[in-house]
Amino acid sequence: MGSPIEPKLEHAKIIPQLFFDVIARIVPGALAILAGLLLTGSTWLSLFNTVIAGVGSTESRLVPALLAFGFASYLAGQMMSPAVKTLQRLMESICVMNFFIRREALSYFCDIERKKPKDSDGKSSKKPDENPDQKSDGGYDELRLRHPAVGEMCQKIRAEFLMHYGIAVVLATSAAITLLPSLSPAIEGWCRRLLLFVALLIGALASAVRGRATCDTHDKTVVKFLKAYRSLQESAVASASTSDSQP
């Protein structure tokens, strides 16, 4: 018979994931929907009324419209995930600091230098197609599994940099749409279009840079916590060995 505390713990694990979805998925998705509405000169309530025309009164549709907006924002955020991941990889590849941060992270996450297999000639047999990001995610998953409180903190930082990348994707896409009059009828005149294009492009670049900085913070935080955890493990093993050796 299970303990009555176990269901509460299971519910507690769901809460951080909800916050992750709100920050990393719903916020960029909501921004994407709002950007589309502004560029087309429409409103969400009018669009919702068009979809469910003839069902209930206009006043009674407000709450369902808000719920539908939240659900649509989540779906939009999920659909943006491939573009967000592509932007993340692009920012990581063009940043010089990525080499040093990933090298430090890999050394703590997987103990590559100590545990990688050796060939008969003493050289490393590491395969060239190994993905460093999968090993980094392994250290992040280890913290979430063994130290939920620390894992939640790292998960929040992870959600933040995904949010910044998502916002960058939305702003860059909106900047491109402003140059297409057929997709952005609410903008009048090419002068306004060019100004809005430049402003959105600057905002996209700033958000991408901010996302990269937050991603660095995430990697460094995971490295520090995992290093401290493994140091405590080594100390505990050393203490146990010392106590066992004493008569």
Rounded to two decimals, the pTM is 0.72
76: closest CA among 36, 30, 121? 30
DSSP assignment of 36-54, as one string?
HHHHHT--HHHHHHHHTTT
Q: What share of the chain is helix, strand, coil (3-state, %, to 5)?
A: 80, 0, 20
Residue 48 forms beta bridges with which residues? none
Does residue 28 have a pLDDT over 60? yes
Q: C-alpha angle with apex 77: 76 to 82, nearest 5 degrees? A: 105
Burial 39-75, CB ≥16 within 10 A → b, else e: beeeebeebbbeeeeeeeeeeebeeebeebbeebbbe
Identify the residue with better confidence: 164 or 241.
164
What confidence score (pLDDT) does residue 12 get?
Answer: 45
Q: Across the chain, what does the average pLDDT equal?
A: 76
What confidence score (pLDDT) does residue 33 get?
Answer: 95
Does residue 89 have a pLDDT over 60? yes
Local structure of 124: helix, strand or coil: strand
DSSP assignment of 134-167, as one string?
HHHHHHHHHHHHH-HHHHHHHHHHHHHHHHHHHH
Does residue 46 have a pLDDT over 80? yes
Does residue 103 have a pLDDT over 70? no
Local structure of 246: helix, strand or coil: coil
Report, as an integer, the average pLDDT of 171-182: 94
* pLDDT digits 0-9 by tens, 210-232: 999 998 888 888 888 777 777 77
